[in-house]
């Protein structure tokens, strides 16, 4: 359960970084 929660947090962080980089490029 903890592993699944940590994976979800990592995915959210990666998605946020991608969105931030995309907004910066635009």
Please give the Cα distance from 13 to 2 (Å, whole number).
Answer: 17
Q: Enter the pTM of the model.
A: 0.59
Neighbours of 3 (CB within 10 A): 7
Residue 15 has pLDDT above 80, yes or no: yes
What domain count does the chain have?
1
Residue 5 has pLDDT above 60, yes or no: yes
In angstroms, how far is CA 24 from the centroid of its own chain? 16
Q: Using CB atoms within 10 A of its CB, is residue 14 exposed (0-12), middle (13-18) or buried (19+)?
A: exposed
The CB-side HSE value for 15 (13 A sphere, CA atoms) comes to 6
Please give the Cα distance from 20 to 25 (Å, whole number).
Answer: 9
pLDDT at position 22 = 85
Residue 7 domain boundaries: 1-26
């Amino acid at each position: 359960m903890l592993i699944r929660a940590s994976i979800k947090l990592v995915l959210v962080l990666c998605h946020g970084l991608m969105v931030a980089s995309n907004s910066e490029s635009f």
